[in-house]
Structure 1
C-alpha cells in the first residue's frame, strides 16, 4: 500500500508521535509511507522517526492548500490518507474528489468536530479510528453523521523495550538532576491550558510539608504562568522541557509517582509510557483515561484538587500499594499497548479498506 499521513498543525503533539510510529511501523512491513506536513517544526519530528516528509502549503483550509494536497497525493499515487483533525478532513475531502482515495480519520480529540464544513467534508471519510470504546460510543452519539463511515477502536501503542522498568537509569537521572532519595513526582505533557497543570499545583499546595518536588516535562504557552503559580504557592517545580526518549524513560523510572490532571484526556501517551516503565499513576478520571489505566492506576475525580491531594498523600505513604500498581502497570502495557499490536491493527484495517 501507498499511505500518506496528513498533519497540518503548527506544533508537534502526541498525535503526531502516533502517526510517526505508525508510518515507521508500516514502512518496516513493506508499505510506502509519507508524511505531508505544513510546518518545519512538525516535519522535523517525522524525520526523527525516519519517515519520508513532504511540506505542501496545507496549514489552512483553502483552495490553494486543497490543490497542493491533491497534487502531492496524485504524485505519490496514494491509496489512503490518514488525517487527524478537522482541517485535515476538509483538505483531504477536496483532494479525494474524483479519484480512488480512502480517507481515514484518526480522532484524537475529546469531542468530534461538528461544524458544517467538516460535516459536509466527512462524506468523503471512509473509516474512523477511535482510541477507546468509550470514546467511540460518545463520539458516534454526539456526531451521528460519523456513523456513515466504518469505524474501529485501535488504542495507541508504546515501545515497551525503550520504556521499561530500569532502577539504575532512574537513580542516574536523580543524580544528574540532584533530586536526592526522597519522593519525586513527574508530570509529562504540553504546558497548555487543556492539560490543567494549574489544578495539579493547587493540589500539591494542599499537601503537608515537605511537598515532594515535581518535574514537568514539556513545553508550551503556559510555561511562564505555571512558573509564576509555582512560585506563589512555594512549590518546588522543575521545568525540564522536552526530553529525548531515553532520558524521558529515565525520568519515569526516577519518579515515585506519575501525576496527570487533564479532565478530558483522550488517550495519553505519557500514561502509556508510565505504565510501560512500571510506575504508579494517579490521574484524573475522564475521557479515555479510565479505560487506558484499568486497575493499574489510581483515578481521581476530575477538576477536584482537594480529593486529588488526598489520594496522592495516601499513595505516597503506601509503598506496598505502589509496588503492586507498578507490577500491574507493566503487565497491562505489555499485554495491551505494544507498538507491534498497534501496527498490526492499522495494517489489518487498511488492507481491509483498500
Structure 2
C-alpha cells in the first residue's frame, strides 16, 4: 500500500529544514516505512529557497507554488501525481487538506488529517475576522499583491478548519489540539537508535564544535518569542558566570529575531549553523542541559517541542517550563519552572550544576521514557491501529 503525505511548505524554512529529517511529516514517513508501506511526500515551495532533501530513503516531489490564479496550475500538477492509496494531509490548510478533499471527490481515497499546529493562532485565533468591504475585497482579489491571492490566507484557513470532520481519521500530537479538533493522540517520535548517547563522547563533541571550556545550555531549534529563549538569557545575566553559554543551533529561518537576541545578549550566546538532521545527535551530545522554555501561548500549547525529545533521547538533563504537554512528556524526569520566570530558571541552572551527577541519572530515566513512549517505533504502533481502522 502506498501513502502520500501532502505538505504545504517544503522549502528550507518549512518542512524541508534540517534536510527534512526531524520534521513531523518526515517522522510520520519514517514510522510508516517501518510498517512496510510505500511512502512519498509531496509539497510546494512558494518563492523561497528549495530545501536539499536526500531522496534515497523517502521519495520527495516538490512543486513550485504561486499565488492565485497561477496556483491552480501548481495544484493541478500536484493532484495528477497524488496517487497514494491513502492521502495523509499535513494540517487543515487549503494547500494540503483542501487539495486532498478535491482528490477524494474524484477517487474516494481515504484521508488522514494530521494537525500538529493551530494555524489560526498566528493570526489571533478565533478572534480573527476578515474586514469585509467591497473596496477591500476588490483590492485583495484584483491587485497583483492582493491578500486573498495567497492560497493559505487566514480567510481560507478558517474555512478549511471548519471541514476537518470530513477526514476519515485525524491525528494530533498535543492535548490542546485534541480538545480543539478531536482525533487520535500521536506524539512525535524520535529515532532513539540514531539519538543514542552511547555512540557519542560529550567532551569530544564540545571540542569538535568549539564549545570546550564552557558549561552548555542548548536550544536546538529556531528561536521565536513564544519559545522563551529570552527568559533563559535573562537568567544567565542574573547568574553572571561567563562560562555559562546558551548554544542556539540552526537559528530562525523566519525573520531577524536571532539578530535581536544577539544585539541584546550576544555575550551569552553561541550560534551554531544549521546541520543535517543526522548530525543532531552529535551536536546535542555537547550539551550539559537542554532548555525548552516555552511560554504559555496558544502557539506554544499547540506544539510538541521536538527539542524536548532531542534531549530526552540523548539522556541530557531537561530544563523546561510547565506548559501544555511538557510535564506529561517528561513524566517527572526533568526540571520544571513556571513560564516567563527567569529567576526560577536561574535557580534550576545552579541546582543542576551543583548536582550534575543526580541530574544525569534523572536524564537516563528520561531516555528510557522516550524510548518507551516517544520513539519512531511507538509512532508506528499507533499508526498501524489508525490505518487498520480505515
Q: Which TM-score applies when normalising by structure 1?
A: 0.84
Q: In 2 relative to 1, CA 49–282 (structure 1 residues): closer, same or farther, beyond 3 Å?
A: farther
Residue 325 of structure 1 corresponds to which residue in structure 2? 362
Q: Secondary structure at the match of 2:41?
A: strand
Q: CA–CA distance in 1 between the matches of 2:275 and 2:40?
A: 25
Taking the TM superposition and a 5 Å limit, the aligned residue runs for 1:102-121 are 102-109=110-117, 116-121=158-163
Residue 71 of structure 1 corresponds to which residue in structure 2? 80
The range that moved more, 22-31 or 96-105, is: 22-31
Q: Secondary structure at the match of 1:20?
A: helix
CA deviation map 1:116-144 (0-9, x unaligned): 41134324322211214x335532xxxxx
Structure 1 residue 81 displacement after superposition: 2.6
Asked if 1:12 is matched to 2:14, the reply is yes
Residue 325 of structure 2 corresponds to which residue in structure 1? 288
Q: Which TM-score applies when normalising by structure 2?
A: 0.77
Residue 124 of structure 1 corresponds to which residue in structure 2? 166
Answer yes or no: is the 8 Å Cα contact 1:57–1:64 preserved in 2: no
Answer yes or no: is the 8 Å Cα contact 1:282–1:298 preserved in 2: yes
Structure 1: give runs of 5+ residues left out of the alignment.
140-145
Q: In 2 relative to 1, CA 183–57 (structure 1 residues): closer, same or farther, beyond 3 Å?
A: closer
Answer yes or no: is the 8 Å Cα contact 1:183–1:256 preserved in 2: yes
Structure 1 residue 195 displacement after superposition: 2.5
Q: How many residues align?
A: 337
* Selected match of 1:269 from 306, 315, 322: 306
CA deviation map 1:299-327 (0-9, x unaligned): 11112222222222222222243123122
Q: In 2 relative to 1, CA 267–120 (structure 1 residues): closer, same or farther, beyond 3 Å?
A: closer
Structure 2: give runs of 5+ residues left out of the alignment.
127-156
CA deviation map 1:48-68 (0-9, x unaligned): 562112223556685445434
Q: Secondary structure at the match of 1:184?
A: strand
Q: Secondary structure at the match of 1:215?
A: strand
CA deviation map 1:194-227 (0-9, x unaligned): 4332222122211132351221112222222222
Answer yes or no: is the 8 Å Cα contact 1:66–1:95 preserved in 2: no
Q: In 2 relative to 1, CA 49–347 (structure 1 residues): closer, same or farther, beyond 3 Å?
A: farther
Q: In 2 relative to 1, CA 245–55 (structure 1 residues): closer, same or farther, beyond 3 Å?
A: closer
Asked if 1:310 is matched to 2:321, the reply is no
Q: CA–CA distance in 2 between the matches of 1:197 and 1:207?
A: 16
Answer yes or no: is the 8 Å Cα contact 1:255–1:279 preserved in 2: yes
Please provide the CA RMSD for this pair: 2.7
Q: CA–CA distance in 1 between the matches of 2:79 and 2:210?
A: 52
Q: In 2 relative to 1, CA 345–41 (structure 1 residues): closer, same or farther, beyond 3 Å?
A: farther
Q: In 2 relative to 1, CA 290–41 (structure 1 residues): closer, same or farther, beyond 3 Å?
A: farther
Q: Secondary structure at the match of 1:258?
A: strand
